[in-house]
Amino acid sequence: MATIQLGLDTFGDVTRGADGELLSDAETIRNVVDQAVLADEVGLYFFGVGEHHRPEFAVSSPEIVLAAAAARTRSIRLGTAVTVLSSDDPVRVYERFATLDAISNGRAEIILGRGSFIESFPLFGYDLRDYERLFDEKLDLFSQLMAEQPVTWQGTMRAPLEAADVFPKTANGLTAWVGVGGTPESVVRAARYGYGLMLAIIGGPAHRFRPFVDLYRRSLTTFDRAPLPIGVHSPGHVAETDQQAWDEAYPGFEAMNNTIGRERGWPPYSRMRFQHDVGPEGALYVGSPETVARKIAATVTTLGVERFDLKYSTGTLSHEHMMRSIELYGTEVAPRVRELLAS
């Protein structure tokens, strides 16, 4: 556990500038690339960019943003959080990430998911009634493409393939995960196809997800697969003190929760709810470097995972605050987590 991989995720949230006005999508995207560069400079393992198709998030084509980051970074691994495979074409997805892998000299990763937001389905002409079948079939095809050999495949949601090959070829294959929000069926599916498991823990205590970790490992054994990595994705923010981190992060969490909540029927977000969520029983990793490090170490120990990705962008939190959060996460949180786990 002392060799835990620590990464960052962002959805490219559109943020506010010093004047209080929302930045343009273009400036937000350029800031995301700068954030990836800083993450590389402070020695973090992974930088992930999510795919969305709605006004709160600027990034709809993560691979292009990641390619820009690849050209300006040296060591950090680059991937998605997540790629909505259900509303995309597996062949094009594979080719785009194989291209990113070439640009980054083998640092590309992909986290595949069904998507917790549904805007991409009508946008690209898919029926939400096919939500499960789309992902199942496309994951099956993507899994065959991973071998980088000619593929013959037939399903019901896209045209069949006959001895079809994909290009470019990668030097050493792609690293791929399946992002799971917390259903047993999704956990078993990830094991069946041989993908790493990335648990999106965005609510409640981490220990609630231990049964999914155990199910995944049992399923790998059932499918006669070697052990595969398990990771956690959770929101957070780091500042010099707990109070500073809470005060900086709360407006963004409130804005984002209330925007999504109006669509999904959630009650209005409150400071009381926020303070619960940043506590031991909540899923927000917000506080000083010591507070965040201790909470991450506790989660890693409880679940026995190999990776933790902090979703450091939330709502309208400013670029400057996010840059400081990344700096503290890499220079103070990461070494303290390893120290705690080693002891």
pLDDT tens-digit map of 104-147? 999 999 999 987 788 999 999 999 999 999 999 999 999 999 99
Rg of the chain over Cα atoms, rounded to whole angstroms, equals 19
126 close to 156: Cβ distance less than 8 angstroms: no
Strand locations in 81-130, DSSP E? Answer: 83-84, 109-113
Complete domains list, the chain, with CATH: 5-342 (3.20.20.30)
pLDDT digits (tens, 9 = 90+) for 192-241: 999 999 999 999 999 999 999 999 999 999 999 999 999 999 999 999 99
Residue 95 pLDDT > 60, yes or no? yes
DSSP structure class, residue 13? B
The candidate with the shortest Cα–Cα distance to 24, out of 319, 267, 327, is: 319
Structure-token pair, residue 339: 């120290």
Average pLDDT over residues 295-311: 98
> Angle CA(261)–CA(266)–CA(271) in degrees, nearest 5?
85
Distance CA 311, CA 248 (A): 15
Distance CA 71, CA 73 (A): 6
Residue 1 pLDDT > 70, yes or no? no
Q: Is 229 left (phi over 0), alpha (psi -120 to 50) or beta?
A: beta
Structure-token pair, residue 131: 């939500």
pLDDT at 297: 98
Q: What share of the chain is helix, strand, coil (3-state, %, to 5)?
A: 50, 20, 35
